[in-house]
Structure 1
Amino acid sequence: MGRLAFGSETVTLDDRLLAHLEVVMVTKLRRREPFILTWTVDPSLGSGRVSRWVGVSTSWDVRYQSRSSGPLNPAWIESLMATANSPGGLRIVPEPDEEEQVAGL
């Protein structure tokens, strides 16, 4: 499990998810497109969700637990980017199954 930090606020996420989120976030910011990032809070920490405004001046940091990174899933990046481009902002969505990718679903 890696972490995504905004100043003193930190969320712990799977390294694979973080790698895909990083691609989407960097792409949006490279285009100078601010967005809202929303994630759910673990029930052990009080439950609920957090939304964070992310713009070009936002300081954020990604730390991976693992040194290696596996191949990225273009379909997942596309799904995450679709949420980032929506009025609700970037939300974590499940990685599409390989069968769904092959079938074009």
Structure 2
Amino acid sequence: MGTMYYGGSAMPIPVEDRVLAHLKVVVATKLRRSESFTLSWQHAEGEPRGRSTLWIHPAIPLRFVFEDPAPPALSHTWLEELAQSANSSGGMTLVTEHLDAADAR
């Protein structure tokens, strides 16, 4: 289980390593272009019920910490889906990965 630290908050946001790796790529791409957006997710089991949203902005510190030292293989389909949601008016929503034949190879 990885973690994401955002802004001045010392409270980490737990995110599974594979999800965090995909999130990092899309967020870094948006921030490199100086594009702000929202990031939303549903709370995991064991957390209070509900969902959270962050305003992601290039001026706000962001750190990704991975438990596994080896980066996972990335799904191009999933990256595209996350990037499309980040570009929408509703902002990026963390969705589950959809495996297809091209990514399974």
Cα RMSD after superposing both structures: 1.7
| CA–CA separation in structure 2 for the residues paired with 1:43 and 1:66 | 22
Q: TM-score, normalised by structure 1?
A: 0.88
Q: CA deviation at 1:43?
A: 4.5
Runs (5+) with no aligned partner, structure 1: none
Amino acid at match of 2:84: A
Q: TM-score, normalised by structure 2?
A: 0.88
2:26 counterpart (24, 27, 30): 24
Query: In structure 1, what is the equivalent of residue 5 of structure 2?
Result: 5
Runs (5+) with no aligned partner, structure 2: none
Amino acid at match of 1:3: T
After the TM superposition, which segments of 4 or more aligned residues of structure 1 sit over 4 Å from their partners? none
**8 Å Cα contact 2:3/2:66 also seen in 1:** yes
Query: In structure 1, what is the equivalent of residue 17 of structure 2?
Result: 15
**1:56 aligns to what SS in structure 2?**
coil
**2:79 aligns to what SS in structure 1?**
helix
Query: In structure 1, what is the equivalent of residue 63 of structure 2?
Result: 61
Check 1:79–1:12 CA distance in 2 against 1; reply closer, same or farther (3 A cut).
same
Deviates further, 5-14 or 32-41: 5-14
